[in-house]
Amino acid sequence: MQIEGSVAIITGAGSGIGRELAVALAAAGAAVVAGDLDAAGVEETATRVRAAGGAAAAAVADAASSEGIAGLISTARDEFGPVDVFVANAGIMGPPGLGDDESAWDTVIDVNLRAHVRAAKALVPEWLGRGRGHFVAVASAAGLLTQLGAAGYSVTKHAAVGFAEWLSITYGGNGIGVSCVCPMGVDTPLLSGILGSTDRTARMAGAAVANAGEVIGPEAVATLTVEAVRDGRFLVLPHPAVLEMYRRKGADYERWIAGMRRYQDSLG
């Protein structure tokens, strides 16, 4: 897809991967709408983009709600024009373990999965009419493997990967591109938050990610994602080792599960 001259929305753009995606897409020539619930964070992202000569608008919005997504799309149209790229990046870890409150499950499902579905429902009909558009699902290696210590995160990231696959299969022949981003450890507030949590299970979840491989910077994820959008590629693996892990999982599921149990035990 041609990024130069396009209009992109990035959710969860107040920090971390979302911020770097906004910066990278703007550097590639897109006008960006940076959305987040963190007003100060998203304004800082937009300021950074403008300081580098890019076009950006900051929008405070809940990307998990249909109203929030509609607001982001409206801001993009008013400021720059129709949306060409939507990056569903906003994500949360959710409760540790199985969680004690059903409402916590509702929240993690809304943010990590339904936000993707709602954005696609809002944009795909328009993209089909125009014959172009690109949807980026920022999932996780947890969506291909698993996430120790956090059932909600693991389940919703698997679902996000599955939804991205469905979008690509269903609409890829109609000019709509889909990219699914599946990193392991990335130096973001989400990872630092669980590593520093007072909850033992949450800390274990963080250690499972941090010890599995190199913790990379969010700018590296953004660079690879922009390349995938430009090239029309589906799977983005900032940690190449994930592919071999995924192959081993599929080759012998029982052995992989036993190995993950041992890894969990080693983390205490």
Active-site positions read 153
Query: Rounded to whole angstroms, how far apart are CA atoms 109 and 91?
Result: 10
Query: Residues with Cβ < 8 Å from 179, sequence gap 6 or more?
Result: 134, 135, 136, 137, 164, 225, 228, 229, 233, 234, 235, 236
Query: Rounded to whole angstroms, how far apart are CA atoms 56 and 245?
Result: 38
Helix, coil or strand: residue 85: strand
Residue type, 174: N
Q: Are strands 176-181 and 133-138 parallel, antiparallel or unpaired?
A: parallel
Helix, coil or strand: residue 101: coil
Read off the tokens for 170.
């269903």
**CA 217-40-101 angle, 5° bins:** 80
Q: Which residue has 């999932």 as its token pair?
A: 139
Beta bridge partners of 88: 137
Query: Residues with Cβ < 8 Å from 197, sequence gap 6 or more?
Result: 96, 203, 206
Helix, coil or strand: residue 9: strand
Return the closest-CA partner of residue 188 out of 20, 40, 37, 58.
20
